[in-house]
Structure 1
């Protein structure tokens, strides 16, 4: 049985937790850089691509199977992003 201190240090110095914190910091920096270059109405829909990238990363890195439901969901996410990012045309 480990003491509370050993358990807490084990959690704090867990390489997976450390890498998650680094990635969250990197995401915050990247998000602020993106918002400097484009309006939020255009940038925010692309945040949904994280779900698609996570699906692909799970397949490539961990060999997880991708079901038809997963593919369908990713398809609808990409379609939604395309619909949101198309500029509205005004008819003169």
Structure 2
């Protein structure tokens, strides 16, 4: 069960970062630069919620880093790009281009390669530990 809770921290970090970006877009769309700037930013609920999401993202990210090396955990933060791309199409009617899809496929391949490399390295380390215990 502990292994699943560790992934939960990475998943929550991804979701909080995506929510911060999405609510940041809503804040930008709802703020008029001409009216009582910066008071209109500080009282904008979208902006405040975006900041709250960033704080929670930082907290759960620190927890994730307790359980995984940065070289493994950080590539998973690229999943935020998928969430943002889908949210931008659904919530803001922004287009999804072929270049977007190719870029996300390249990110996915990179994550898969890094994950496999990490898993292989762990297996090699575990095997070398077993050999040293036998000797």
TM-score range, shorter chain: 0.7 to 0.9
Alignment TM-score, normalising by the size of structure 1: 0.80
Cα distance, 1:9 vs structure 2: 1.7
Of residues 28, 31, 39 in structure 1, which corresponds to 2:58? Answer: 28
Are residue 37 (structure 1) and residue 44 (structure 2) matched?
no
| Residues matched between the structures, number | 85
What does the per-residue CA deviation read over 1:49-79, in whole Å, with 9 as the maximum and x for residues that have no partner? 1112111111222222211111111111111
Moved over 3 A (4+): none
Are residue 88 (structure 1) and residue 120 (structure 2) matched?
yes
CA distance in structure 1 between the aligned counterparts of 2:41 and 2:100, rounded to whole angstroms: 32
Higher relative contact order (CA 8 A, sep 6+): 2
Give the 5 Å matches for 1:8-87. Answer: 8-86=38-116, 87=119
Alignment TM-score, normalising by the size of structure 2: 0.57
RMSD over aligned CA atoms reads 1.6
